Amino acid sequence: MSAAPAGVRVLTPATSANLGPGFDAMGLALDLHDEVEARVRDDGRVRVSVEGEGAGTVPEGPGHLVARAFRAAWEAAGERPPGVELRCRNAVPHGRGLGSSASAITAGVAAAAALAGRVGPDGDVDRDWVFGTAADIEGHPDNVAPCVYGGFTLSWGGRGAWRALRLEPDPRLRPVVCVPDAELSTEAARGLLPAEVPHADAAFTAGRAALLTAAVSGHPELLLEATEDRLHERYRAAAMPESARLAADLRGRDGLAAVVSGAGPTVLVLAADGGTGARNAPVAGDVGQIHRDAVDSIRARTGTAWHIRPLAIDPAGVRISSPRSLTSVEE
């Protein structure tokens, strides 16, 4: 890789993985973004500043995840990492199941690719290289794929490489995230999963995952059934009982497609509006009304302990541009 621009600005979206039955394979990009401004330092040093989520709690130096991913990306390309100055403005909550680590890793890798002039055939940064490198660092692709490509993604590993397929989500989908104050580590949530599951549960979930692909891609009227899971959510419920109760209530009493987002404890609700522009017969209701009703129903159940946020689906994934105003971080 050879040096290109002196500085770049990178936006990376929040993501929700699993979506119920799509365990470790399906993901959705959400319209909530972290921002990183990066420039190469001639002295070889690493300097990081953080605003927003994680400020005062995450490392501000070479141990910061964006900085680690930035350096790892150069090393993966067989090059010596340069010094770098990073300004991170974070909006994606940490430890809530909204892909904050994938956002940070993707930002670091994309910044390295852009500063090195690594572009794809369309002149954009080489997203396939960013995806593969970021997934290697993360260790799994389910959040990285929507973070890089946007929209709704399927991802998997095979033939010694990570693979991903982006599908266009139905325009009627209206995600709502229900974010509690408490955090939960992915490692703790994964530690609750059994080594084996009954064959009937595996078969049930495989069928629902296939149905979920259709529901998100053009049949949102099937979302409630399509988001049923028997592989992971009930096993993790003990670590996040309030999230489990909220998802169950929204599903059982309100008929809303509520799932645990990623490893939790955020609950994701996939509501659907009707109206023009939908590719199939519209869901009942005027444009926006089902979304508003869903938010009102959720707020009535959660009270003030949860942060309820309606979001759009991010269609583009990682974005790279010139930095807005990158001044030197104080030594």
Binding site for ATP, by residue number, is 93-103
Provide the pairing of β-strand 46-52 with 83-90.
parallel
Return the axis-axis angle of helices 65-76 and 100-115, rounded to nearest 10°: 50
The sign of the CA dihedral 268, 269, 274, 278 is positive
Residue 296, CA distances (Å) to 147, 255, 290 in order:
29, 14, 10
- Residues making up the annotated binding site are 93-103
Cα separation of 230 and 197, whole Å?
Answer: 9
Q: What are the DSSP calls for 56-104, one per residue?
A: TTS-SSTTSHHHHHHHHHHHHTT-PPPEEEEEEEE-SPTTSSS-HHHHH
DSSP 283: P
Q: Which of 88, 84, 87, 86 is nearest to 40 (CA)?
A: 84
Tokens representing residue 206 in the block: 């495989």
Cα separation of 277 and 183, whole Å?
Answer: 38
Q: Which of 322, 213, 224, 211 is nearest to 271 (CA)?
A: 224
Tokens representing residue 202 in the block: 């595996």
Region for 200 from its dihedrals, namely left if φ exceeds 0, alpha if ψ lies in -120 to 50, beta otherwise: alpha
Strand partners, 15: 29
DSSP 169: P
Cα separation of 301 and 296, whole Å?
Answer: 9
Q: Are 202 and 208 in contact (CB under 8 A)?
A: no
